[in-house]
Structure 1
Amino acid sequence: MSYALITGAAKGIGKSIATELAKRNYSLLLTDFDEANLIATSENLHRKFGLDVRYFVLDLTTSDAAAQLLAWSHPFHQQLKVVVNNAGYGLNGAFETLGLEEQFGIIDVNIKAQLAITHHFLPVLKQLKKSYLLNVCSTTAYQPVPYLAVYAASKAFVLSFNKSLKHELRNTRVSLSYLSPGATDTAFVVRARMKAHTLKTATRFNMTADEVGAIAVRGLFKGKEEIVPGFLNKLNSVLPKFFPVSFVRKIAASIYEEKQEKETAATTTSSLKQAGPEIQ
């Protein structure tokens, strides 16, 4: 029996990746800070696939989160074949208007937790004849994104880190892939506090979480290094290289800058309650 560990697995892309791995007969070790949805996802996957599904409620902003995850998963290390660092979040708004501590939280989850989990679990993964590590990045990593500045910068770090780590792991048993999704139809925007005009723009390019999850898992087992799901997202990861930074920055700012909303408060609230685009 092989196990896969997925962070941020309660919903969205993490849940979809977990589902795709369950389809391939992987038992699951799931973690998230969202206890209610994590329990529901775990129970649903166990019921649907009849596999062993364990869950661990964990806040990745805590300094010892990776150590806690390593200790909790220890009984399954000899069968742990896949680790997915999916957890991540962002905040939409001008840098100076957002709280400093909550912006540090973005760095804690998107950078520190991914690095710590990768560092803790690489020795575990190297024990197997073949194993897989998937670290989630974002299309925001390929250009500056005003009003999503810390999030995009954190993902730029993640992209650079994984490109370097791929080389370091080239002669090991661990196959590293990094996933860069774009706008995805999940509830990411609720936590990011994105505005209605941003939602409206992003929904034109949305992929579903299930589409992204299926592409991610196929790419992972094919040993693909960089996985960018969707043609438009592939363009978005390449085109910024060919334009001045000032132009790219202006286009991104037009999407994420706060504007006077034409919608009523009720309409905006209704939009946010729906599953919105997850800019991973």
Structure 2
Amino acid sequence: MTIDFTATTALVTGASSGLGATFATMLADRGADIVLVARREDRLRELAARIEAEHGVRATPIALDLARPDAASKLREELEARGIRIQTLVNNAGFGMKGPLVTADAARTAEMVQVNVASLVAITREFLPDLVADGRGALVSIASTAAYQPCPDMAVYGATKAFVLSFTEAIAYETRESGLRVLTVSPGATRTEFFDVVGTEDASVGSFQTPEQVVSLALSRLDRRSTPPSVVAGRANAVASSLVGWLPRRVALSMSGRVVTGPTR
């Protein structure tokens, strides 16, 4: 049965483009009011205006840098000041970097861990009691197919996404007696700005999905009465991620290394 999000509010992080903007639009299409969180205020305002005009719901843009250690508390303060309560949370914000750790920018690496892990945990902890108490919505976290094996040349990014997968699956079990639906979504290569930030669009990542394909899969899984704790987007990605678990770690590492760094490294 399709979930009706009418009379609820969904908070989407990383909402200025890509998967975040698509989640916001598709949840609005199901009746949810939307809180849009990202750094780029101009894009958030444009998206909020379009959502309100096309879907007749309230869309609230909040410009906030999730690399700030106090982002979760600032977000709570802002929502309380506006009288907004959250029933659905989509942890979409995150970014990656490519290259060996030995030459990686230290400050940028720390920001990646803060955004992908620390702020995700803090925001989830901040709003999870409200989500569980209400029980009508969902908690969705965006991981990656990178979560399923070590990723040389993207070591920190892969590790952060492995954390997101493990963390959100654990929350799914902890809240299993509530009405809250919890799901981790692991996309493979997707047509978003992710590869612009990483600095590559290497063909080795395989064929690309659209944000609409990934979000449609997530919502269809949430619609099931018995929600699985996680899903990999794309049949080929799902098969590959499953097979990795059967391989010896050194073999999985070697294969991942050849794919990500190339055969000459």
Question: Do they superpose with TM above 0.5?
Answer: yes
- CA-to-aligned-CA distance 1:75-132 (integer Å, 9 cap, x gap): 121xx32111111111001111111111111110111011001100011112314331
2:48 is equivalent to residue 42 of structure 1: yes
2:100 is equivalent to residue 91 of structure 1: no
3-state DSSP class of the match of 2:133?
A: coil
Counterpart position of 2:29? 23
> In the TM superposition, what is the alpha-carbon distance from 1:243 to its structure 2 partner?
2.0
Q: Normalising by the residue count of structure 2, what TM-score does the alignment of the two structures yield? A: 0.90
Counterpart position of 1:14? 20
3-state DSSP class of the match of 1:39?
A: helix
Q: For the Cα contact (< 8 Å) 2:142–2:184, is it kept in 1?
A: yes
Q: For the Cα contact (< 8 Å) 2:39–2:64, is it kept in 1?
A: yes
- Separation in 2 of the partners of 1:2 and 1:162? 22
Higher relative contact order (CA 8 A, sep 6+): 1
> In the TM superposition, what is the alpha-carbon distance from 1:208 to its structure 2 partner?
0.3
Percent of aligned pairs sharing the same letter: 31
- CA-to-aligned-CA distance 1:230-255 (integer Å, 9 cap, x gap): 10121122111122323322332233
Query: What are the ranges of 5 or more consecutive residues in structure 2 without an aligned counterpart?
Result: 1-6
Which amino acid letter does the alignment assign opposite residue 144 of structure 1? P
2:146 is equivalent to residue 140 of structure 1: yes
- Separation in 1 of the partners of 2:263 and 2:245? 28
Moved more, 126-135 or 111-120: 126-135
Which amino acid letter does the alignment assign opposite residue 204 of structure 2? T
Which amino acid letter does the alignment assign opposite residue 223 of structure 2? F
> In the TM superposition, what is the alpha-carbon distance from 1:259 to its structure 2 partner?
8.8
Q: For the Cα contact (< 8 Å) 1:134–1:220, is it kept in 2?
A: no
Q: For the Cα contact (< 8 Å) 2:87–2:135, is it kept in 1?
A: no
- Separation in 1 of the partners of 2:244 and 2:17? 30
Which amino acid letter does the alignment assign opposite residue 114 of structure 2? D
The number of residue pairs the alignment matches comes to 254
3-state DSSP class of the match of 1:207?
A: coil
Query: What are the ranges of 5 or more consecutive residues in structure 1 without an aligned counterpart?
Result: 261-280
Counterpart position of 2:115? 109
- Separation in 2 of the partners of 1:40 and 1:146? 38
3-state DSSP class of the match of 2:162?
A: helix
Change (3 A) 1:42 1:259: farther
Q: Cα RMSD over matched residues?
A: 1.7
Residue number among 54, 61, 68 corresponding to 1:55 in the alignment: 61
Which amino acid letter does the alignment assign opposite residue 208 of structure 1? T
2:255 is equivalent to residue 247 of structure 1: no
Q: For the Cα contact (< 8 Å) 1:7–1:85, is it kept in 2?
A: yes
Counterpart position of 1:221? 223
3-state DSSP class of the match of 1:5?
A: strand
Counterpart position of 2:204? 201
Counterpart position of 2:157? 151
> In the TM superposition, what is the alpha-carbon distance from 1:11 to its structure 2 partner?
0.6
- Separation in 1 of the partners of 2:233 and 2:259? 21
- Separation in 2 of the partners of 1:43 and 1:105? 30
- Separation in 1 of the partners of 2:172 and 2:18? 26
Q: For the Cα contact (< 8 Å) 1:146–1:257, is it kept in 2?
A: yes
3-state DSSP class of the match of 1:15?
A: helix
Which amino acid letter does the alignment assign opposite residue 102 of structure 1? R
Which amino acid letter does the alignment assign opposite residue 50 of structure 1? G
Residue number among 235, 238, 244 corresponding to 2:242 in the alignment: 238
Which contiguous aligned blocks of 4+ residues in structure 1 show a shift greater than 4 angstroms? none
3-state DSSP class of the match of 1:31?
A: strand
2:79 is equivalent to residue 73 of structure 1: yes
